[in-house]
Structure formats: structure tokens, C-alpha cells
Structure 1
Amino acid sequence: MRRIRAAVVYQKGGPFQIEDLRLEAPRTDEVLVRIVATGMCHTDMVARDQLYDVPLPVVLGHEGSGIVEQIGDGVRKVAVGNHVVLTYMWCGHCKPCLRGDLTYCEHFYALNFGGVREDGSTSTCLANDTRRPIHDHFFGQSSFGTFALVHERNVIKVPETAPLELLGPLGCGIQTGAGAVINTLKVSPGSSFVAFGGGAVGLSAVMAAHAAGATTIISVDVVPSRLALAMELGATHTINSRETDPVEAVHKIINGGADFTLESSGRPAVLRQAIDALAIRGTCGIVGAPALGTEASFDVNGVMTTGKRIIGIVEGDSKPDLFIPALVELYQQGKFPFDRLVKFYSLDQINQAAEDSEKGITIKPIIRLQS
């Protein structure tokens, strides 16, 4: 077993505690990755705070990037030394997976939030007490550590010419926002788009809408600095919803309402605004992650008689082997500057990173695991 350092959550609400752990060698279909950096996502805090049922203690982290250290005998997708991004996990054998709907895998929740492999096993334990297992395989990776053990399925090779420490967030938050726009909503040239929420997902959506050719792009948030950044990233208008009714403001900017909206805050009241801001036959995508069981309301006739559509979206409907390299290429061409969202922290600063993220000080924290 390999000795690693990782951040462990032992109780609801944290904190992250840095521990010495031991990690198994890869099985035949697994890949050992030396983690260079890992993005911190809202979903990490959702799991830490037990808004989703994730077993504790657990190593979180699900936006890892690193270098392949060792591979199992059956692995053909990557080789030792490859630069990789880690993404979500899917089973590969259920009906949704077989038809290519990877993000709607029948076992998605268990594989990404269950804290174990598909067979129920873990690969991590305390270094000084090997009898005490630590839950891992969060999103198939648990990358808040110096090494991660992942399945061949959810490791994505990326070009060595790209800045590896920057790329981890493409595995979840960034691909969620960009994929919602490009893959699901299919925002088209000349169309109008409104992002409700100006965090990493919402701003990634703004950049993607700009790249897709939308001509009216509105960012809605309550933090002035995020709204200012949205304008720099491609938004044509911004709305501070703390000061202005966003539905009225959208309809004032776009006569008749927006073609597409995206709700990323996870707040039911904001979802209602995103629906009400739509034009006839408009589409609202939902990517925000509230507590399990959260309900929302909308005007049924207002949706039915106008032909509006409301779509749930997981991971931007991404096929990551194709979509993540495409985002890297867009970044390298200067068309998707997601580096504008990030701030780096050391592993010892992980609790500060979480606090800064929750306060809106940092849009996308990235935890460096290697000096």
C-alpha cells in the first residue's frame, strides 16, 4: 500500500483534516494518479455538510488533475506518464450508459456519492491503523489527496502542452456549465441566454454561450465583482438581483423573454425566476444542487400555454472523453478563459479555500497537491 496525504471529513460540517493514509495498488482496470491539483466544487461542500447522504469519514475531491503513476494489467486507455483529468464515474453496463447517456447512469448516485467502488469495497485506510477504512471513490476519485485511485473509465487524457494544475475543474464544475449550454440547451448563434448564478458554473455557461455565438448574454447574481467579471467573459448585460427584479429586468432587455436560461444557484425561488424569464418555447436548464427532497413551484399554465421546457442537467450531459479535450482546446485558443475564475491554495489551506468559496471571495478554488 502507498502512503499518501489527504483531507478527511469525519463529521457533518467538517472541517477537512489532513491525515496520513494508505492507498491500495491499482486493480486490473484501475489507474493510480499522482494528483497535481484538484478543484473545489460546491458539491464537495454539499457532501461535507451531508445535504447528500455521503458516508463518513470520507476523502472528498472530484476535480482532480495529475500524472498517471501506475496502471492495472487491463488498462489500455492511458499509459504511465500521461497527463490526465479525472471526472465523474458511470457503470458502463446499464441501459442509459449503453445508449450513451453516461450522466444518467442508473448507478450514478451510488458510484459518485456512495464512498465505495461498485463492488462495495474501499481502497483507503489510516496509515497508523489499517483496520480503520476511510470512505473514498467520491466521484470515482477522492482527489483531495496526493494520489488517487480511479477506474480506467473516468480518467481522461489531456495534452501535455496545457497547464495541468489548472485543468481539474474541467472534470465537473466547468464542464457542467459549458456542457449545459453546448450539449443540452444547444444555445445557437443569435440567440439569448441568461445565467442565474455567477459562480464557476454560471460563468462557465456565460463563456460557453459567448463561444456559441449567442448575441444577448445576461448574468444574474448578487456579487458586483462577479457581475463585472461576467462582462469581461462575454456577457452583454448584468443584473444584480438584490437590487432589481431579475424577471422584469430580463424582459426589459429582451422583448418577450430569453430563449434559454440556466439556474445554477440551487435555490427554488431563483429557479422560478429562471422559468418566468423565458420567452415562448424557451428552455430552462437546472444544474443547481439543493438538499435532497427540495421542491420548487411554477405557474403550470404559464409553462404549458407557452410551450416552455424545463430540463434537469447532470454534468453538462458531457461525454468527457470528447468534451474535456475540446474545452482544453478552446482554452488554448483563447476562446474559453476559465483561468480567470481560479485561485490556488495549498492542501493545508483547504478549509480556507472552502470558506472563501462559500463567502463568494473565490469563484473556483484549486488545491495544489504537489509543490
Structure 2
Amino acid sequence: MKITAAIATAPKADFELADLQLDEPRADEILVRIAAVGLCHTDLVARDQILPVPLPAVFGHEGAGVVVRVGANVSKVAEGDHVVLTFRSCGVCARCVAGEPTYCEQALALNYTGCRPDGSKSLHRHDAPVSSNFFGQSSFATYALAYEANVVKVDPAIPLDLLGPLGCGVQTGAGAVLRALACPKGSSIVILGGGSVGLSAVLGAVLAECATIIVSDPITERRALAMELGATHVLDPTVERVDKMVRGLTGAGADYALDTTGAGPVMESALASLRPHGTLGLLGVPSNPTQGLPGLASTVLLSGYTIKGIIEGDSEPDSFIPELLSHYLAGRFPFDKLISRYRFDQINEAVRDHHEGKIVKAVLTMPDPVQ
């Protein structure tokens, strides 16, 4: 079928809107009309080939829309269902069976290769293949193919133009606090970076009833929003030494630190902000592929630090996304305050505003979006 998609053709180049051909759904596939899709830093990391998905490619992995058709083997959703799209997992490996789909043993093949596991691509332009199946969806498009493992059915009363970021950025930040770190009530946490993931972590820390929630970000507006969302303190890392300030606010340091930047000096600062036996969670994808872990081995050993890599907030999407939505509907999780809407044809403007720090989370709405 004919669709419109935003194609990445070269690293750091603007996305190009073009007509493509999308395969009809196979027996295990679900055709979704995309109503809106979030713009995530990971999409840009892939476009710029830090994640080497072959170009040309269609990215997008925070889709939300309505099921149009399902393959013969699909029973989880049906035509007309409203869904959020998230990462894909195999469902049968040891990690998936243990309820840890973010660490699926087939994660790379299912999310980052630009094709189906059999090597075929579901997208074509003028009969030439275009990399597809990014996170099992490639939702920078008016329609996308997804799978039972990465669709989550949602209440049709909730506007779809809010929901896409739950599939990655929001569940990553909130899940890091509520799932991966499991911060207990009364604990202290410092969050490095006030983008969509960091501010979602703030929302998660409020739900967890952390006593001290510190956010470090150089952008004034993001620090102000962090306070509005429930942070107890904010720091400007361009004028304040973060670890020194955190120790001043907490005594011996924070119980938990969460880095959302992937930047070496910021990770070092995060580790130095911890009290003995504290835990550092790493969420950000480093722009330098050879970036090492923060800290000297002797420091980590003598302080009893834990350094924990976190993917997608250690979320199990079928349960965690509905949980977050229940908090949102009850007024306890206002993630909508992070969102700025753009038309799909404004994708490159959204990317520029993202890079310049003018917005927290861009959501691209499709022409005539499904309500």
C-alpha cells in the first residue's frame, strides 16, 4: 500500500517526506494507521549512524494509532483498537520468559537491523528497499507494521496525540526510577539531564515518594519545568559543581543518580554525587561509541557503588504503560506537560527545536489523525 514517510538518507541531513510502498501485513503483523509519533533522541542517533541502521531508512519508534488490519496469527488486538507502539521482543528467550523483555536476547535483530529477522524489508521506494522495522515499527510514517509483542492496547478516550512517548522516552525515564532502580519512599535521587527522559524520571520519583529529587540541566526553562513537576531542587551545571551541590543538599550524597546524557564528564559527575553504596543508573546513549564507564575501579570498589545500565526503564510494556496511564488519568503523572505538537511535515523544524533545547518532547501529528 502507498504511505507517506519521513526518510533518513544521510547522517545529520534533514528528513525527506516521500511516498513509499508498505507491504501488506504478514500472518504475525499488525497494520496500524499512525495518528501521532514522538521524536526521540534515539531516532537521531540512528539517522546519524551512531546506531548503524543502513540508510536510507524510516525511523520512528514512539507511534500511536489505530489498528487497520491484522495477520491471521494475531489475536491480541483487532481492527479499530487504539494502540501505543513500543520496542519489540521475541517473547520466548530466557529474559522474555523472566518478564524482562527490554533485555530480550534477540533485541538487536528485532529492533536495530532495518529489516525483518528473515532479512526482508517491508518498505520500498521506486522498487528499491528502504530500511524498515525500526523497533518493530518505523512509525515516522502514515502507516506502520507492528507485532503483538510491541503493541499495547489503550483506552480510546485518551487522545492519541499524547500517547506515543509512552512507548519509549516516558516509560524509560519513569521506569528507571520505579522499576530499574526501584527507589524507595524517602530516598534521594539526582537526575542529570532535564529532557523528556529526565523529566519523566522526575515524575516517576514523585510517584515513588522520593524525599529529595534534584535535577541538573543547563537550560533555565527545563529547570523551571522540573520544579513544576515535583523536583525539590534544581542545579545549573554550567555555574555549579554538581557533586558538591548534591552533597550539600543531601549530606553524604544521593542514594541514586540517573544519567540521561551519555556524556562522559556528566557520568563522572553523577558517580561523584553518590553516597557510599549508592547506585548510578545509565540511560543515555553515548555519542562516542568508545565511551568507558565512569569512575576508577578502586573508587567503585571502596565506595560499594553499583553502576546499572538501563534499557527502556526495565519496563514490561503491557503492564507498565497502562499503569502510567492510570496515574495520568488520576492526575498523578502529568507527562502531557512535556509535549509540544508539530505537524508531520514539520519534522525537521521539530528536530532543530529539539537540538536547540526549545522543547522537551516533540510529537508529530499526521494529516487527518484518527481520534
Give the TM-score category using the shorter length. Answer: over 0.9
| Corresponding residue for residue 132 of structure 1 | 128
d(CA) in 2 for partners of 1:88 and 1:278?
31
Q: What do the CA deviations read for 1:215-245 (whole angstroms, capped 9, x no partner)?
A: 1100001001100000000000000000100
Spell out the pairing of 1:136-147 with structure 2 (5 A cutoff).
136-147=132-143
d(CA) in 1 for partners of 2:255 and 2:292?
24
Letter in 1 for 2:114: G
Q: Is the contact made by 2:53 and 2:131 (CA closer than 8 Å) also made in structure 1?
A: no
Q: Are positions 1:55 and 2:51 aligned together? A: no
Spell out the pairing of 1:1-371 with structure 2 (5 A cutoff).
2-126=1-125, 129=126, 131-291=127-287, 292-371=289-368
Letter in 2 for 1:340: K
d(CA) in 1 for partners of 2:159 and 2:346?
22
Letter in 2 for 1:55: P
Letter in 2 for 1:89: R
Q: TM-score scaled by structure 1?
A: 0.97
d(CA) in 2 for partners of 1:279 and 1:297?
15
d(CA) in 2 for partners of 1:333 and 1:245?
37
Q: Is the contact made by 1:35 and 1:370 (CA closer than 8 Å) also made in structure 2?
A: no
May I ask how many residue pairs the two structures share in their alignment?
367
Residue 305 of structure 1 aligns to a residue whose secondary structure is helix
Q: What do the CA deviations read for 1:61-94 (whole angstroms, capped 9, x no partner)?
A: 0000000010011111001101100000112232
d(CA) in 2 for partners of 1:117 and 1:50?
19
Q: Is the contact made by 2:54 and 2:131 (CA closer than 8 Å) also made in structure 1?
A: yes
Letter in 2 for 1:325: P
What's the CA shift for 1:275? 0.8
Q: Is the contact made by 2:271 and 2:294 (CA closer than 8 Å) also made in structure 1?
A: no
d(CA) in 2 for partners of 1:157 and 1:367?
20
Q: Is the contact made by 1:112 and 1:137 (CA closer than 8 Å) also made in structure 2?
A: yes
Q: Is the contact made by 1:162 and 1:328 (CA closer than 8 Å) also made in structure 2?
A: no
d(CA) in 1 for partners of 2:165 and 2:47?
18
d(CA) in 2 for partners of 1:112 and 1:229?
32
Residue 361 of structure 1 aligns to a residue whose secondary structure is coil
Residue 21 of structure 1 aligns to a residue whose secondary structure is strand
Letter in 1 for 2:352: E
User: What's the % identity of the aligned pairs?
Assistant: 48
d(CA) in 1 for partners of 2:280 and 2:359?
27
What's the CA shift for 1:52? 1.2
Q: What do the CA deviations read for 1:138-176 (whole angstroms, capped 9, x no partner)?
A: 010000000000112111101112121100000001100
Residue 92 of structure 2 aligns to a residue whose secondary structure is coil
d(CA) in 2 for partners of 1:255 and 1:296?
25
Q: TM-score scaled by structure 2?
A: 0.97
- The RMSD of aligned alpha carbons is 1.0
d(CA) in 2 for partners of 1:284 and 1:11?
35
Residues 297 and 285 of structure 1: CA distance in aligned 2, closer, same or farther (over 3 Å): closer
Residue 304 of structure 2 aligns to a residue whose secondary structure is coil
d(CA) in 2 for partners of 1:122 and 1:364?
29
Residue 117 of structure 1 aligns to a residue whose secondary structure is coil
d(CA) in 1 for partners of 2:314 and 2:323?
14
d(CA) in 1 for partners of 2:143 and 2:13?
21
Q: Is the contact made by 1:87 and 1:155 (CA closer than 8 Å) also made in structure 2?
A: yes
Which moved further from structure 2: 288-297 or 61-70? Answer: 288-297
Q: What do the CA deviations read for 1:272-329 (whole angstroms, capped 9, x no partner)?
A: 1111101111111000001333224303222212211110000000100001111111
Letter in 2 for 1:244: E
What's the CA shift for 1:36? 0.3
d(CA) in 2 for partners of 1:302 and 1:293?
21
What's the CA shift for 1:97? 2.0
